[in-house]
Amino acid sequence: MKVDILTLFPEMFEGVFNHSILKRATELGAFSYNLVNFREYTESKHNKVDDYPYGGGAGLVLSPQPIFDALEDVTKEKDKKPRVILMCPQGEPYTQQKAEELAKEEHLVFICGHYEGYDERIRQHLVTDEISIGDYVLTGGELGAMVVVDSVVRLLPSVLGNEDSAPNDSFSSGLLEHPHYTRPAEFRGMKVPDVLLSGNHAKIEEWRRQQSLRRTAERRKDLLEQYPLTDQDKAWLNQWRDDHNLS
């Protein structure tokens, strides 16, 4: 996967992209990135990339010219148009399902804004996706782009090393993930559940399923409303609610 990032602060990405899973993905050849400072494309003699909004109002708005020219430059030798993602608090709320969708693409371009917003022509004529990582406002789109790139790249083949890791993540299955334990079996009087030490893989999978359902019911009831529960799932949940006097 090739990723181009249009940003006024390319240096922000170096630390993130040169460590951990993203570094591994680069070394494997699964992921390559290009950081583009779109200020370098401005035709302004003062090197400006923003201006005051027509009609008045607070703040400055990113001008279309530098971003249009930067995007045309990074895509000029491409036969297939990339997905162009605008990081924006007005965008589609980001989900694991969106990450899985984007992980199937060969080329992604991220536009990271600053200031009050974007000239609307950028949104209307360049962008294929608008993404928000939450209902809050950051100083720029860089941190959001890092989040999206990390969540997408870890899904690429061979990047995690264990092909079962990503499908079992929280949200990938539609439920929150079950609890995890590792050695020692007892730590400061706190013991690992006996079933995980039993060696009975069928019982372990059953326990994990039950825990995943319970954790989702406790923390994200909204996910259960959309999830296709089996009769066995419903029975486990009803038993758990009865045991805890829950409605």
User: What are the pLDDT digits (tens) for 11-55?
Assistant: 999 999 999 999 999 999 999 999 999 999 999 999 999 999 999
Annotated active-site residue in 150, 169, 177, 206: 169
Verify whether residue 66 is a known catalytic residue.
no
Asked if residue 26 is part of any domain, the answer here is yes
Task: Give 46's contacts (C-beta < 8 A, 6+ positions apart).
Answer: none
Domain of 146: which CATH number? 3.40.1280.10
Strand pairing category for 107-111 and 2-7: parallel
Asked if residue 37 is part of any domain, the answer here is yes
Q: Tell me what pLDDT residue 167 has.
A: 64
Query: Looking at per-residue confidence, does 167 or 16 come out higher?
Result: 16
The whole-angstrom separation of Cα 187 and Cα 232 is 33
Query: Looking at per-residue confidence, does 117 or 237 come out higher?
Result: 237
Verify whether residue 89 is a known catalytic residue.
yes
Q: Tell me what pLDDT residue 172 has.
A: 74
Q: What is the mean pLDDT of residues 167-189?
A: 86
Consult the annotation and say whether 135 binds a ligand: yes
- In the predicted model, is pLDDT for residue 180 greater than 80? yes
Q: At what angle do helices 201-219 and 231-243 cross, to 10 degrees?
A: 70
Instruction: Please compute Rg for the chain using Cα positions.
Output: 23
Q: Which of 89, 124, 153 is the last residue of a domain?
A: 153
Strand pairing category for 117-118 and 2-7: unpaired
- In the predicted model, is pLDDT for residue 169 greater than 70? no
Verify whether residue 116 is a known catalytic residue.
yes
* Structural domains of the chain, count: 2
Q: What is the mean pLDDT of residues 173-177?
A: 89
Consult the annotation and say whether 137 binds a ligand: yes
Domain of 217: which CATH number? 1.10.1270.20
Average pLDDT, the chain: 93
150-182: b (≥16 Cβ within 10 Å) or e: bbbbbbbeebbeeeeebeebbbbbebbbbeeee
> Do 133 and 81 share a domain, yes or no?
yes
Can you give the pTM of this predicted structure?
Answer: 0.88
Verify whether residue 184 is a known catalytic residue.
no
> Do 137 and 34 share a domain, yes or no?
yes
The whole-angstrom separation of Cα 88 and Cα 155 is 23
- In the predicted model, is pLDDT for residue 116 greater than 90? no
